[in-house]
Amino acid sequence: MINTIEFNSLPVMEHFYTIQGEGFHQGRAAYFIRLGGCDVGCVWCDVKDSWDANVHPKFTTDQIVFEIKKHTKSGLVVVTGGEPLMHQLDELTAKLQAEGFETNIETSGAHPLSGHWNWICLSPKKFKAPLEEILPEANELKVVVFNKHDFEWAEFYAAKVNPNCKLYLQPEWDKTADVTPMIIEYIKSNPQWELSLQIHKYINVP
């Protein structure tokens, strides 16, 4: 285990090499960096332990890149949270891209955009709306569907992203049995949307 220091560092809840389980890059090998800190507060969040940034060890960007390179020399790195844009990410992504990694972020968009990204997955939340300036930057809009009213919410943001943005509807995990049939019927009537499932949870990988 690497030592952690406070200076010029990011709070890391966990980091692991797995496959991307959802969205556009589903099925690809990916190294995940889950940063601590979130002020969005989704009631159905499955990583509430990430919310308090102060309880997680801090790694420098060099340490993070070193850990990733121990597992893979190239490919996809996903920065997630928590809410990763609570942190300044320019240095981290610049170093990752200099080493040949693709940089992806999963964000609610509730904080200003930082970092240099090959792919931005925007997942807006009702608990804290995304900033308007982030909407046209999104490559992927992924809306978590908790109930039937979320389809209207999804269309509200689909109208604000750029025309090339991929559109995904994803059932909230605890509501999967009830919500997935509704999503399927909605997509059949609105084929600009696609279904995103959390495959990693079905096959029991991180």
Domain presence at residue 1: no
Please count the structural domains in the chain. Answer: 1
pLDDT above 70: residue 10: yes
Task: Check if the beta carbon of residue 8 is closer than 8 Å to that of residue 64.
Answer: no
Domain presence at residue 19: yes
Instruction: Give per-residue pLDDT as tens, 152-205.
Output: 999 999 999 999 999 999 999 999 999 999 999 999 999 999 999 999 999 999
Which region holds residue 92: left if phi is over 0, alpha if psi is between -120 and 50, else beta? alpha
The reply to whether the predicted model has a pTM over 0.95 is no
Domain presence at residue 3: no
Question: Taking Cα atoms as reference points, which of 92, 79, 67 lies closest to residue 2?
Answer: 67
Q: What confidence tier does 54 reach under pLDDT thresholds 50, 70, 90?
A: confident
The residue-averaged pLDDT of 16-29 equals: 97
Residue 8 is predicted with a pLDDT of: 67
Enclosing domain of residue 176: 9-202
Task: Check if the beta carbon of residue 144 is closer than 8 Å to that of residue 172.
Answer: yes
Of the listed ranges 2-6, 17-21, 92-96, 189-193, the one predicted with least confidence: 2-6
Residue 70 is predicted with a pLDDT of: 95
CATH number at residue 40: 3.20.20.70
Quickly list DSSP for 82-112.
S-GGGS--HHHHHHHHHTTEEEEEEE-S-S-
Domain presence at residue 95: yes
Domain presence at residue 182: yes
Residue 67 and residue 59: Cα distance in Å, rounded?
A: 10
Domain presence at residue 4: no
Residues in the chain: 206
Domain presence at residue 134: yes
Instruction: Give per-residue pLDDT as tens, 72-125.
Output: 988 999 999 999 999 999 999 999 999 999 999 999 999 999 999 999 999 999
Domain presence at residue 195: yes
